[in-house]
Every structure is written in structure tokens, then in C-alpha cells.
Amino acid sequence: MYRTHTCGDLRIHHIGNDTTLSGWIQRIRKLGGMTFIDLRDRYGLTQLVVDEKAPTELKTKIGELGREFVIQVNGKVLERQNKNPKMPTGDVEIDIKNIEVLNTAATPPFTIQADTDGGDELRMKYRYLDLRRDVVRNNLVLRSKMAIAIRNYLDSLDFIETETPVLMKSTPEGARDFVVPSRMNPGEFYALPQSPQVFKQLLMVAGFDKYYQIVKCFRDEDLRADRQPEFTQIDCEMSFVEQEDVLNTFEGLTRQLFKEIKNIDPGEFPRISYADAMDKYGSDKPDTRFEMLFNDITEIAKGKGFAIFDKAEYIVAINAKGATNYSRKQLDALTNYVKRPQVGAKGMVYVKYNEDGTFKSSVDKFFDHNDLKKWSEQCEAKPGDLLLILSGDKFETQEQMCELRLEIGRQLDLIDKDKFNPLWVTDFPLLEWDEETHRFYAMHHPFTSPKPEDIELLDTAPGKVRANAYDLVINGVEIGGGSVRIFDSALQAKMFRLLGFTEEQADAQFGFLMDAFKYGAPPHAGIAFGFDRLVSLFAGINSIRDVIAFPKNNTGRDVMNDAPSTISDEQLKELYLKVVQPEKKQ
Ligand code: ASP
């Protein structure tokens, strides 16, 4: 028997017991003639002690130990002289009688404890050592608990967990596919799923009624800060439901998770339309933990001879309450912030509503007291407040103002890190126009149904058609999204046409789905949550990397095993593949 207890078990009531523990040596300290060892396993740390009077043989063995050696010890549980209230096992220590080295260890490249000295790259390279640290492993424990809570909830509602293929036919979801060559079908490729979208819809045609899967998905995208090429979704689909049913079911799931995992009741989730979210927050994933809503001052700010405003399609102001004391330097820094290429504004106008009721603005040459008073009324500003204003093309300006709002929210410390503000964003546009390729793209995916009242617009003004599509947003992060699906093959065919597919292309890619729809497809709708994001939100950390056991770095590499890698000539030959070396960059 390797152990009678774990390193997290022993308490004051175990005093006098004989115990056997196994684990890793975190630390060895010598104090006078005594040696103290912190023994670690997944469950905690226990202090071991060997005193001067121990037999020489034991003392020799102890002298040969090193950090991260795997040992088994046997001894008596003693009450500790210097108790450590910070450790659950801090009342006791083990007086070692026997010690067995189960395995030696090379000196680890960084210290394996909460505050490690290892940098990011090093810890990724030795991820299995990093995972020995509580702070890292706890995120994975949370992940496991959440997965179980999700399964229990969906199972209680009769969802069927069904696995769908990983080797499949390419289905466009807006990103590039990862592809896998087929040895048995020379020159042909599978794609890894960007999502099991088509399969889950086919399961509805099959009468499964309610499907779910916690499933790996793959997207070959240029990696931005918080993306992974492979990620996990909680993927669901339901039959004979309307949008309302899906929202209620998944609001229920989310609230259950908050209750079970965090003991929080976030209350009913507010709903906001995409159009309102853009008008009030300049974002389809608004952070509603603080107010500071947008105020459209286009009408009252134009026509006073300030060319920048006069030319602008849209002029928007936010009210930074109580910030009139912002210095010139701070305002310049804010202007520079919005002018960064990532934000892209050309400049920023400010209006200080001074405590004495006067105004001071960066556009005093063009606007008098009455003008500025009007703006401030529109923004419900009071003496002491600061208005920040951006102008230009509507959509771009909204996006820029969203960034400025978040930045000033951070600066004024308005974002409560302990708060969770979930909300549903609904009524997304069905289609998105792309200037470069001069065509429409599906904003969600091609299977999303238009709102029935907007169907007529499909022929006249497709860009105006709203979809039965919805996103769950928490604290400014998109946690999931889904839609009511098209279940009529004629409407689906029309949708493909709008998206620029010829009949042949649509048939080649989705013929099987359109065929399936001919055999009695029920009305259906679904949703997928980003599981990694959800876990990181619950863990209170920014990066999804920290909730994935073996993540990739931001160039898509696994720095631990050095994937991706080249394959042998034989493998290439077997797959009928030839590697063309990329052209060297100049
Ligand atoms: N398949 C969609 C996605 O991955 C979600 C859905 O519509 O259910 O975003």
C-alpha cells in the first residue's frame, strides 16, 4: 500500500496515529539538527520531520533527497510546536520512521510552488511540472466540476449526449478548416470540425429532440490574444422550440452553474437587441458592469462650423462622471489611446463641466456655453463631469467609443471584478456585407433563419434582415451564441444563393443536408457555449490558456512536444503529399 492518507488529510485528531504518505518533495529545510520536508500531492502539503536522534541510516537517506523526488514515508502524526494556520494540515507533522525513494528527480527548471520563479515560456515547456502547482491545477479541477454540473443539468432535461465525427466534411463557419489527408482516398481530405453544426441538425431530423456534447472544435485562425486552435464547446440543439425556449434552457444552465460553483444568483438575464447594444455600448458584447451609456449628439453638434463634426455621419459622447479634474496630460493620454492603430480614431474632443457651472472644451473656438450646455443635458452631465466625444463613420465610431468607454471605466475603477453581469443580445443582422469581396456573409452561419417578419426584405434589402440569432454575454465576453435554424429546404437554398453559392456549389457542399430536410425536418434551434471561456470567467482569469491542460502558444505551437512538426518522406508518400517550401520573406 503506497499510502494510508493523502498529503491533505491529516488533522489534529490524527495525533498519535501511524500514517503512510506518498508524494513529491516540495522543500527541504535544515534547522539545527532537525530536517523538515514539505511533502506534496494533489490534495495538499504535509510537513515531515526527522530529528537529530534518528538512526544514522535514516539520516543518510534523508541527506540524499532532493526537490521533486517521489518518496513514500511512514511515521507517527505529532502535534506541531509551531502551528501554521495557513495550511489545512498545519497543526500536525509526521515523525518519519521509514522512507522509501520511489523515484529520483532532476532539479526542476523552476520552483514548483504557488509563487514560482518560472517565466511563461519555461512553464509551458514543462507544463507537466507547472500542473503540479495548485494554482494551475485548481483551474482544471474547476473545469472538471463545471463539466459534470453541465452534464447533470442537461441530462436532467433529457438531452442525449451524442458524439459526432472529428473527421468530417468541411463546413464553413467563417474560419479556415484544419484538414487531414486521407490515405485511403488519395488527394482527398477530411476537415476537423469548426463545430458539429450540420451533424446536430441532422440529429434533429433523426428525431433526437435534444442533443448536447462537450466537444472539441478546431479553427485555423490567426491567433489573437485569447484564442486557441482547438477549443471546447458545450454544443446543443433542440427540436420543436422557439428562440425563447433555447434562451430559457440555457439561462437556466448558466444560473445553475453560478449557483452550484460560485453560490451566486445573478438573477434573470436582461435582453438587449443588437441594434440597442450598438447604440448604447458600441459593441455586441457589452460590459454592463458599469453604465456610461453612449449619447448620440449628432443632431445638436453639427452645423457650427467645426469641419470634423460637420463631415461626420455620427457624433457620440460619453459622460465620465466626476472626472472633470482630468489633467491635460491625462486627456492627451486618452487621445493617444484612441488614436492607437488598434482603436483607430482620428482624435477626441472633451468637454469639462466645471464645478462652478462653466465649461471648458477642446473645441471652445466653435461652440459656446449654450451649445456645450445642450450636449451636457443630452448626457445628463452635472458640474464635475467630463464628456468625451468621438465622431466619424457610425459603425467605426461606435467601436472606437466602446474601447474608450472601457478604458475610462478601468481608469475610474468602475469595473467591479467580483461582479457577474450576464445578458442576452438578440436580433443580430442575418448578413454582413464585405467590402473587399463585395458579397454578403452569414453573420452567424448559413443555417440561421431570418426573422419571419423580415423575410420579405431578403429580396429587397438583405442587409436589413434580422436573424433569430442570439448571444450570451457576461462581463463583456461572448460566452456563447446560437440561432433558430432554417428547416425548409427552399429557404435554405435561397440563403445559399444570397451567400453567393451557385446551385452546384451548394449541392456539393450541403446537398446531404438539403436532402435530409426533404424527409421531414422538425423546427429546431440551438446554441453553443465556449467552455474554455466560461471556465476562465468562473476562475476569474483572463486567459483561456490557463484553463486548458496542454494549451498551444500564440503561434499555435505546443512548445512542450514541439507540435506541429514535419513528417517523414514515407508518410508523405503514403498520403500522396508533397511539401512546397514557403517562399522566404524578403
Ligand atoms: N455552431 C455555432 C457556433 O459554433 C453555434 C450554434 O449555432 O449552435 O458558433
Note if the pTM is more than 0.75: yes
Q: In sequence order, what E strands does 80-199 have?
A: 92-103, 160-161, 179-181, 189-191
Pocket test for ligand 1, best of 444, 448, 449 (most atoms within 8 A of CB): 444
Ligand 1: distance of its center to the CA of 148 in Å? 21
Expressed in angstroms and rounded, the spacing between residue 517 Cα and the centre of ligand 1 is 19
Nearest CA to ligand 1 atom 4: 195
What phi-psi label fits residue 207: left (phi over 0), alpha (psi between -120 and 50 degrees) or beta? left
Amino acid at 74: N
| Paired residues of 239 in beta bridges | 524
What is the rounded CA–CA span in Å between residue 430 and residue 465? 6
Cα 248 to Cα 472: distance, rounded to the nearest angstrom? 12
222 band by pLDDT with thresholds 50, 70 and 90: confident
Nearest 5°: the CA angle 231, 539, 289 is 100
Fold match, 130-162+193-270+418-558 / 290-411: no
Ligand 1 atom closest to the CA of 469, numbered from 1 = 7
For the chain, give the percent of residues with pLDDT over 90. Answer: 90
Name the strand (E) or helix (H) holding 310: helix 307-311
CA distance 530 to 254: 12
Tell me, in angstroms, the distance from the centre of ligand 1 to residue 507's CA: 22
- Which of helix, strand or coil describes residue 527? strand
Assign a CATH topology to domain 130-162+193-270+418-558: BirA Bifunctional Protein; domain 2 (3.30.930)
Beta-strand ranges (E) seen in 240-345 are 271-273, 295-296, 314-320
Distance (angstroms) between ligand 1 centre and the Cα of 462 equals 22
Beta-bridged to residue 35, according to DSSP, are 30, 50
Q: Per-domain residue ranges for the chain?
A: 12-103, 130-162+193-270+418-558, 290-411
Domain 290-411 has CATH 2.60.120.260: no
For a mutational test of ligand 1's pocket, the pick from 159, 177, 195, i.e. the residue with the most ligand atoms closer than 8 A to its C-beta, is 195
State how beta strands 179-181 and 18-31 pair: unpaired
Q: Of all atoms in ligand 1, which is nearest to the CA of residue 526?
A: 8
d(CA 495, CA 449) in angstroms, rounded, equals: 9
Could you identify the atom of ligand 1 that is nearest to the CA of residue 194?
4
Whole-angstrom Cα distance, residue 285 to residue 533? 14
Phi-psi region of 57 (alpha: psi -120 to 50; beta: other; left: phi over 0): alpha
What is d(CA 342, CA 420) in angstroms, rounded to the nearest whole number? 27
The reply to whether CATH 1.10.287.90 applies to domain 12-103 is: no
Distance CA 342, CA 400 (A): 9
Ligand 1 pocket residues where CB is under 6 Å? 173, 195, 197, 481-483, 526-528
User: Which protein residue's CA is at the shortest distance from atom 7 of ligand 1?
Assistant: 482
Least confident of 128-132, 364-368, 434-438: 434-438
Report the mean per-residue pLDDT for the chain. Answer: 95
The residue to which cell 486567459 is assigned: 543
Q: What is the pLDDT of residues 308-360, one digit of tens each?
A: 999 999 999 999 999 999 999 999 999 999 999 999 999 999 999 999 999 99
- pLDDT tens for residues 260-293? 999 999 999 999 999 999 999 999 999 999 999 9
Task: Report the separation in Å between the CA atom of 198 and the middle of ligand 1, taken as the mean of its atom positions.
Answer: 10
Residue 392 in grid coordinates: 466619424
Cα 548 to ligand 1 centre (Å): 21
Grid-cell match 474601447, residue found: 403
Q: What is the model's pLDDT at position 586?
A: 60
Grid coordinates belonging to 561: 512536444
Closest atom of ligand 1 to 483 CA is: 7
Say how many Å lie between the CA of residue 521 and the centre of ligand 1.
Answer: 19
